[in-house]
A and B are shown apart, each in its own frame.
Chain A
Amino acid sequence: MSRAPGAVVRRQRPLPSIVAITALFAVAASLAVPGFTTGPNLTNVGQQTAILLMLSMPMTLVIMSEGLDLSAGALLSLCGVVLAKLLVAGSGLPLALLASVAVGFAFGIFNGVLVSVLTLPPFVVTLGTLGIAQGAALVVTDGNAVTGIGPAAASFYALAPLAIPISLVIALAMWAITHVLLYHTRFGNGVFAIGGNRDALVLAGAPAHRYHIGVYAIMGAVVGITALLLVGRMNSGHPTVAIGMEFDAIAAVVLGGTAFERGDGRLYGTVFGVATIGIVRNALNLLGIESSMQVVSIGVLVLLVILLDSWRKEKGRAAP
């Protein structure tokens, strides 16, 4: 169970169930759902999942480090509000983005210090910062949307290099960066080790605190970047828009096969988790399924994936 840092990465493991499930749903949707495979719809799915993908990438790191970040959704709202407020005040997009990232980063560092240095449970810490970020967003705006932000954010969001929406391009870039960070740097080994065996990491002389705080700081900074996409999408800042999005991100990560314990998991699994959520929601909307049944389907989907995973794990154990 305990693994030395550095010797952790590639081990032969079966594909997570989510890969098969994503494929199944994608095929089913293209056969059975009229309009699913059209260009505009696939663009939709891409745009809708981009924000979730952005959040889910660093969330995978957080969960691999045996952590959790419940504050991501509230923080995303807050960063969006900050970004929009600065745009209203007449600052340029780069400065506004910088401020948004700075706010996210500061919250991330705060979370990280409380979790790593003070050894407080991540769930508790980030539930506290969820409240603080949510409250700050509401207080700054008095609950109202921030509008009149000028065309900069929206026209950025409307960019589509090679007909791929910019939000998806950025999200895929985030995947690439996170992949390199996780699998090809010492920091990445550190992340696996924090989840696997933090004491061994400390004994090996690695800066465990710095890695651990880094995980949360990256989460915060990425939330700050994601705020630009969110604000561009709505052409306004909104203090409660991203409530609950952290749960979608956590669900995507865990559907992707990352476990809450022992730094176990794979980054691409998360990407499939995000894709499944996006495809299912889109297909149900295209089919015009009643919202109440959509709610039930999401629950069934979650249980289905974890059932499959646990069943295969059991089978694997029975016949090694």
Chain B
Amino acid sequence: MEALKTLRMTAIAAAIAAPLLAGALPAQAANERLAAFYKNQVDPHFALVRGGVEAMAKQMGAGPVTNYAPTRPNNLAEQLSQIEDVTVKRPDAILFMAVDPRGVVPAIEKVNAAGIPIVNYNDRVAGGKFVSYVGADDFKLGLDTGRYALKAIGGEGGVVIIEGVKGSTTSDQRVAGFRKALEEFPKVKLLASQPANFQRLPALQVMENLIQGHPRIDAVLAAADAMALGAIEALEAAGRKNTKVVGINGVPEAIQAIKAGRLLATGEFDGFKIGCVATEAALRYLRKEPVPSEIILQGIVIDRSNLGPWDVPMEKRTCPKWADVAR
């Protein structure tokens, strides 16, 4: 009984100490204080974005960056609370990507009212005022990558689309691009278009199920690499090695898969670059330098012939030059 009591008291003491210790982390004081938002802390794409943000902040001598991601992946209600809280904290500038393009608008208007400069990156927000938008053209990425795949199968056959989270800009625009590409190839038949929420296991299972219903699938167009790689696992397990699969993003695993000949190609949606450029835009604005209202990073289709620049670990990557991207 005595031992039990001691154990319980120790547990309580530990439980009290943990959050207090966490709270006692050193407060930051440096030049520009940046707050950066992400949609989740699960997808490696956002790890790349964060790497870019931190690399550029360091390179330009800004203070440490505070990072915010919802504790439940892609949770809108949590993101709303976080942006409201950050408004109170008053960082010098905010880098923001939206879990949902429309639901966050009232919260962004509050940031505008508080007069904190905010750069929109990665996912476009449908309202509010931003210093700049830094991202890629998701529709064009879908179109180019789709075209690339459809050409590779000789312009005819059956195709499957795997969608991301319905309602998110990155998924909707990329899928619209895929469909536009399909219109250009009238001999290609769209067999199915199913969402897999940007996740690997759902993509794997959707593909396993579709394989059963379709004896021949010539190409799979996935709206993100994670889903493309899940689909490949299903196809390889079923012995369907001739199906061409493309993804979008260019995360490290996708580059390795292209090298190994498993993934045909991926549309460049370079998180590291997006993070770099958005950070530079915010710091330039704070340092009273001109910043264009929109910076669209031109993404290419990455395949075996040109993957060199992406076959580099994140720590060794360098940010693009401002003059090359800001036009």
Contacts and interface: CB of A to CB of B under 8 A. Distances in A.
Are A and B a genuine interacting pair, yes or no? Answer: yes
Nearest to B22: A293
Interface string A59-89: 0000000000000000000000000000000
Contacts of B167: 141, 143-145, 238-239
Interface in B164-187: 165-167, 172
Given A38-B88, A236-B102, A281 B81 contact: yes
A48 B81 contact: yes
Contacts, number: 137
Interface in A142-159: 142-145, 147, 154
B75 A243 contact: yes
B15 A311 contact: no
Contacts of A285: 68, 81-82, 85-86, 89
B80 A311 contact: no
A22 interface: no
Scoring A51, A142, A238 by chain B CB atoms within 10 A of each residue's CB, the highest score goes to A238
Contact of B8 (A292, A297, A311): A311
B12 A308 contact: yes
Contacts of A298: 71
Interface of A is mostly: helix
Given A285-B85, A304-B12, A307-B12, A290 B67 contact: yes
B7 to A, nearest CB: 11
A51 to B, nearest CB: 8
Given A40-B88, A234-B106, A235-B105, A297 B22 contact: yes
B106 A291 contact: no
B67 A241 contact: no
B23 A303 contact: no
Interface in A20-78: 28, 32-35, 38, 40-41, 44, 47-48, 51
Interface in B40-89: 41, 66-72, 75-77, 80-82, 84-89
Contact of B77 (A245, A282, A300): A245
A292 B41 contact: yes
A307 B11 contact: yes
B30 interface: no
Given A286-B89, A288-B66, A47 B84 contact: yes
Interface string A269-296: 0000000000011111111111111111
A34 to B, nearest CB: 7
B18 A300 contact: yes
A142 B166 contact: yes
A44 B88 contact: yes
B257 to A, nearest CB: 27
Given A233-B106, A235-B105, A289 B23 contact: yes
Given A48-B84, A236-B103, A238-B103, A32 B76 contact: no
A242 B77 contact: yes
Interface of B: 8-9, 11-12, 15-16, 18-20, 22-25, 27-28, 35, 41, 66-72, 75-77, 80-82, 84-90, 100-106, 126, 165-167, 172, 195
19 contacts: A28-B23, A32-B24, A145-B101, A145-B167, A230-B77, A235-B105, A238-B167, A239-B167, A240-B76, A242-B77, A280-B19, A282-B85, A285-B81, A285-B85, A287-B27, A288-B35, A300-B18, A308-B12, A311-B8
